[in-house]
Structure 1
Amino acid sequence: MAGFKAIALTVDTPILGRREADIKNRFALPPHLVLKNFQALDLGTMDKTNDSGLASYVAGQVDRTLSWKDVKWLQTITSLPILVKGIVTAEDTRLAIEYGAAGIIVSNHGARQLDYVPATISCLEEVAREAKGRLPVFLDGGVRRGTDVFKALALGASGVFIGRPVLFSLAVDGEAGVRKVLQMLRDELELTMALSGCTSLREITRAHVITDSDRIGRSRL
């Protein structure tokens, strides 16, 4: 064991979305870097196609027949809890619970998979409401400030995942940069809690945030 606590199974990428920025930028790894699971792929072939190197790689590595039954199969070969990453609807929340997921990560793959997909913060409450506390619901995507963490907790998240701030800080200042950005997020969250009258995470409730649906409901009164 390498100390892993769970397996996060990404379910929103059986087919990679059309990533036009990758195509426009002719995405490829710098020649001095080697990514092990890219070694079998000739990224130079992207020059001869209308796709990106990443899309070509995924097309050759991902089984498009992935289904909910595979979540059940995965449970037979590991004792680790399985978190299903890529859920944005109540319907898929019900299926995740039915097929034995230990947790849900509300994620839209950085909004890179499908144009016009809702922001994860907009989907979170629907998923959390359907989960009804039967399994933890986490939020992924768009977390940049401590206030974002506060909003997610208020809308039913058990916690959040942080991607780009950590990657950016790692690139700038290594481990020290990551520690600094995590401390910044914690400080901002604590300040937000104090200014909202919350002395503990348990005191953060739905009443602390106002969403677009709340505004629409009030305008109809």
Structure 2
Amino acid sequence: MGIGPEDSIRLNGQVVNWDAENTEEISMSPDGIELYESQAYAVIEIAGQTIAFRSLPFEDGTIQIQPKSDMMGRTATAGGHANFGYSGYFKGYVYLDGKRKRLVDFWSLFPNGEHHYEAQKDKFATEAAIRAVIGQRAGTSVSKVKGGYAFDAKLTHETGRQRLASQMLLPQVNLADLTQSHSCLPSRANRTSGTASSG
């Protein structure tokens, strides 16, 4: 089966904030108000100037980053301590045909957790680090996978979970090994009989 137009998205290296808007503004003559309004422009007058503007979708391949509170950040907010600054991280989305698509392995670009920030004052530096990393990937592509798009085309839900666990330094438990280790323990009956005979 061939690769369809939506199976991959070519990145343009641009990163925009979560609240960013892409607008087109045109300074115009009042005589053209009707024409611009018919083309889905909103028209306003500011300081004697007539301006037509409209929202435009972001270009395909633009990445939009969303700040999210991590567990410590949510705890600080819930406890009323947000004035001390709370921690979090950035999630990433990529645009295609004017719509946001989830980047399921966005975190994999930051092996040392560079997309995390310890306090709100650190967000700007974190954003700058993210922009630098994404800028270097201009011209590369993300591939369609289950749940969104990925930098690693071979990504599956299981491998993604394992990589995230390893980043968080969580041990990977093999159930077969766990079962085998428990099989070496004496049975309940043996332990009970051993205790009774020792009396």
- Would you say same fold, with TM above 0.5? no
TM-score by length of 1: 0.22
Question: Between Structure 1 and Structure 2, whose CA radius of gyration is higher?
Answer: 2
Q: Select the structure with the greater relative contact order (CA < 8 A; seq sep ≥ 6).
A: 2
The structure with the greater share of residues assigned to helix is 1
The structure with the greater share of residues assigned to strand is 2
